[in-house]
Amino acid sequence: MKIKDESFSVELNKKVSQNETTIGEMHIYSDIVCAGWCAGNPTCCIASYNKASKQCQLYSCCSPETVPSSNGMVLRKLPGKLPLDELLDCSDIPNGSLSGVYTMYHKNGSFDVYCDVKTDGIWTVIQRRLDGAIDFYRNWQDYKMGFENVYSEYWLGNDNLHNILSARDYTLRIDLQDWNGETRYAEYDTFFVGNEATKYELTISNYSGNVEDSIVFPGLEDCKMNGMAFSTWDADNDKSQTNCAENSEHAGWWYNSCTRANLNGIYYNGGVIMRDGIYWQNWYSSDYSLKTIAMKIKPKYLRCSESNGRNF
């Protein structure tokens, strides 16, 4: 929808939550006029229109909470393209962008990431396993800085990951594929990684998805990952009597004693039965090595008061 040189996206069967504060409200006979009212108000970012009551409400917040409404529609002003040096994560790339590699900018410098625009929104890919071309049995420094090619298999880097996650609140999605082409996913509504001083301590909770959780409530208390420090073969920070990263799992990860989700494990072709492979134990056993993995993040809903001045 384009009104007065402003473009709007239209989200049907939704309305803005009553928890949000309006900057204007009026009885208006059509959604077009409602959008026009918003277009003429420079502080308006979103209009919420009810087709039955003909009520139009304007909001300055660009990321308000929305709820289902059979007669509702949310009219969202589409932002212009951000300057290239202001991209914090893939959610900031211009509307209509394709999946691919983009450069993100943070206080400690810039780095490239792969942006996935095909999977329920726009996601920033932080880890990807595709074909075993890249060795993930790496030391602390490699996992700290990140390694390999963002066009194929890679680990974004724990420093880069911390910098991104410190800017906003994020959801983590993990996509899994077996060797028969079957896919599953898990999402965690809370996901944060501390800085190196905390040994990149993991905070993760609030699971949903179509594969049984193997991270927050994996079935064994000593395999829960929340609160764990990151470990590599040369930096043993797990709670096991032995070094999980070196002696059994052969990867860098947030090991407890040790894990039920070894997503940086050794890549084995054809679902080979090996204990140190890429596994999600509560889908297959820990001996079945999966074909592909992608870990990706996107910002959660933010109220305007929590958006640190970034309203888009």
Q: What is the pLDDT of residues 64-95, one digit of tens each?
A: 888 999 999 999 887 655 555 568 899 888 77
- 105 plus 246 within the same structural domain: yes
Task: Evaluate if residue 275 carries a pLDDT over 70.
Answer: yes
86 or 303: whose pLDDT is higher? 86
pLDDT band, residue 193 (cuts 50/70/90)? very high
Q: What is the CATH number of the domain that holds 72?
A: 3.50.4.10
Q: Is residue 163 part of a domain?
A: yes
Q: Is residue 15 part of a domain?
A: no
Its domain, for residue 60, covers: 22-77
Most confident of 2-6, 109-113, 294-298, 306-310: 294-298
Residue type, 301: Y
Task: Evaluate if residue 4 carries a pLDDT over 70.
Answer: no
Domain count for the chain, please give it: 2
- 192 plus 49 within the same structural domain: no
State the burial class of residue 305 (Cβ atoms within 10 Å of its Cβ: 0-12, 13-18, 19+). exposed
- The last residue of one of the domains, among 77, 110, 140, is 77
Are the C-beta atoms of 293 and 178 separated by less than 8 Å? no
**What does the alpha-carbon distance between residue 151 and residue 112 come to, in Å, rounded to a whole number?**
10
> How long is the chain?
312
Residue type, 199: K
Task: Evaluate if residue 112 carries a pLDDT over 80.
Answer: yes
C-alpha distance across the termini of the chain, in Å: 19
- For residue 302, the model assigns a pLDDT of 42
- 30 plus 146 within the same structural domain: no
- 54 plus 171 within the same structural domain: no
- The last residue of one of the domains, among 47, 77, 107, is 77
Q: What is the pLDDT of residues 36-52, one digit of tens each?
A: 999 888 889 899 999 99
Q: Is residue 153 part of a domain?
A: yes
> Is the four-CA dihedral 177, 207, 249, 161 of positive or negative sign?
positive
- Please give the full DSSP string across the chain, using - where no structure is assigned: -EETTEEEEEEEEEEE-TTSPPSEEEE-S-HHHHHHHHHT-TT--EEEEETTT-EEEEES-SS--EEEEEEEEEEEEPP-PPPGGG--SGGGSPTTPPSEEEEEEETTEEEEEEEE-SSSS-EEEEEEESSS-S-----HHHHHH-EE-TTSSEE--HHHHHHHHTTS-EEEEEEEE-TTS-EEEEEEEEEEE--GGGTS-EEEEEEEESS--SSSS-SSGGG--TTPPPBBTTB--SSSSS-HHHHTS-S-B--SSS-SEETTSB--GGG-B-TTBSEETTTS-TTBPPSEEEEEEEEPP--GGGSTT---
- 186 plus 54 within the same structural domain: no
- 151 plus 264 within the same structural domain: yes
**What does the alpha-carbon distance between residue 127 and residue 147 come to, in Å, rounded to a whole number?**
10
- 58 plus 101 within the same structural domain: no
- 228 plus 200 within the same structural domain: yes
Mean pLDDT of the chain: 89
- 100 plus 72 within the same structural domain: no
- 169 plus 56 within the same structural domain: no
Residue whose tokens read 């594929």: 177
Q: What is the pLDDT of residues 223-240, one digit of tens each?
A: 999 999 999 999 999 999
Residue whose tokens read 């990952």: 225
- 69 plus 97 within the same structural domain: no
Which whole number is the average pLDDT over 162-185? 95
- 132 plus 278 within the same structural domain: yes
